[in-house]
Amino acid sequence: MLVGRNREYTFFNGYMEQNGSQMIVFYGQKFIGKTSFLLDFCKDIPHSYFLSKPIVKEWMLDSLEQEIRKLQQLDTDQKKILIIDEFQEFSKNEDFMPVLINLMQSGNFLIILVSSEVNWVETAMVRTFGRTVASISGFYKVKPLSFQNICQIYPQYSRADLFIMYSIYGGIPGLWNYFDVELSVEDNIITYILSQRSFLRQAGYSYSMSGLRESSVYDTILISMANGNTKLNDLYRITGFSRAKISVYLRTLMEQEQINKIYSIDCAGHDNSRKGIYDISNHFTAFWFKFVYIHEDELLQMDEKTFYDKYIRDELLKYCSKYLKEILKEYFCIQGILDPADVSASDCFLGKQNQIPFVWKSHSVYHVVLCDRIKTRMTYDDYESLVQAATEARMREKEYYIVSFRDFDEKLSLESRMKKNIHLLSFADILEHF
């Protein structure tokens, strides 16, 4: 079984145990590991795999029907599986769904419709196929792997270095195919991302821009966001585009799961642009636009090691610091401090004078975390700034968590011993729990 996919195995085993035929939509962003999982799940089950292609629709349907006939001819009492990958390519073929419905009526089949077009599945699929979607039994959206999952897959690699690679690849299994445990972080980046011969060097741009028109507008917005411009007004000021235009493009990027909007906890989740910030949620997209795309002309003119030393080496840990929040969410869940069901409810606080990078409310208690910057030593002044921010946010009962990459000054250490609601956390110790 693949690591981190227990829910997926349980989901499909449930359908395999049912009598009769079912049709499932299995979808998620590119490289998320949909096909790898399905082929592993089906390895001991009679099945057929069909990859849809952008060719003449009649030809593709004929090819699919040939594959179906082969599957029907298999002599077994076991339930058979038909996988149709990137099935959105059949969206203009009115005969596609009737063919599948006929198959369902002819025997005991599980039909799995796979797509990387998340937004199309969630917004346009029903309109495209009309009443025939009533034949679909269920939907499953594949999520990225957690950092804990990544640590389970690569137990021999340094946790600190895995955190850096996770900050680049996220939990996208297909990207981790371009990772070598025998290489350092630096050599992995040079070999698999910067090298002209590498797949990710060639595919980096298309990975984030697939299916998007007016790429110059998206490029400008993503470059601006990758360099720290996260508020709508900042993007308006930097890009020169109107606020209305930027909002439209930001909405599309959110639908494509390239970015997300983070709300200040005092907004209660309301769509208030003054209180929200935008963030590139796709790790590789953030890395690509931060380091590679904007300097690609120079990358073409110098060797990869020189490029790494000039543009990446000294900025890499600062870039990684934006993903501390994800690691800490997992850590607090492991420790039982944060309920996994409440992870999505965690937010930040964006005050006029002060900010809190990570905060959530459990019952009447606010859990306030300082983790935004990579600092080797956290000080009492850092703690005071956090207290001021919590006061501005009108938080009453509070638990403070302060994360350092090395240690804490003496005054802060003494304060934590005197007050039970101050918790000092070493990032190295946190990593030991994964």
Residue 76's CATH number:
3.40.50.300
pLDDT digits (tens, 9 = 90+) for 74-108: 989 899 999 999 999 999 899 999 999 999 999 99
Q: Among the three residues 106, 141, 176, which one is the final residue of a domain in this structure?
A: 141
Name the residue with higher pLDDT: 338 or 24: 24
Question: How are beta strands 355-362 and 365-370 bridged, if at all?
Answer: antiparallel
pLDDT at 104: 96
Residue 389's nearest CA partner among 350, 362, 415, 425 is: 350
pLDDT digits (tens, 9 = 90+) for 418-434: 999 999 999 999 999 99
Q: What residues make up the domain containing 252?
A: 165-311
Backbone phi, psi, residue 44, to 5°: -110, 20
Mean predicted confidence (pLDDT) in 109-135: 94
Whether 261 is covered by a domain: the verdict is: yes
137 pLDDT exceeds 90? yes
Residue length of the chain: 434
pLDDT at 255: 87
Q: Are 324 and 309 in contact (CB under 8 A)?
A: no
- Percent over 70 (pLDDT), the chain: 94
Same domain for 283 and 207: yes
Mean predicted confidence (pLDDT) in 110-121: 95
pLDDT digits (tens, 9 = 90+) for 147-170: 999 999 999 999 999 999 999 999
Q: Please give the tally of structural domains in the chain.
A: 3
pLDDT at 273: 46
pLDDT at 206: 67
Q: Which helix (H) or strand (E) holds 115?
A: strand 109-115
Whether 385 is covered by a domain: the verdict is: yes
Provide the mean pLDDT of the chain. 90
Whether 103 is covered by a domain: the verdict is: yes
pLDDT at 348: 81
Whether 99 is covered by a domain: the verdict is: yes
Give the domain CATH number at 389.
3.40.1350.10
Hey, which residues does 277 pair with through a beta bridge? 262
Number of other residues whose CB lies within 10 A of the CB of residue 381: 11
pTM for this model (two decimals): 0.91
Residue 378's nearest CA partner among 414, 424, 415, 422 is: 424
Model confidence at 262, pLDDT cuts 50, 70, 90, reads: confident
Whether 276 is covered by a domain: the verdict is: yes
Same domain for 264 and 196: yes
Same domain for 229 and 97: no
Hey, which residues does 49 pair with through a beta bridge? 83
Whether 325 is covered by a domain: the verdict is: no
Mean predicted confidence (pLDDT) in 48-69: 89
The rounded distance, in Å, linking the Cα atoms of 25 and 27 is 6
Same domain for 306 and 169: yes
Helix, coil or strand: residue 100:
helix
Query: Which stretch of 35-39, 88-92, 288-292, 369-373 has the lowest confidence by average pLDDT?
Result: 369-373
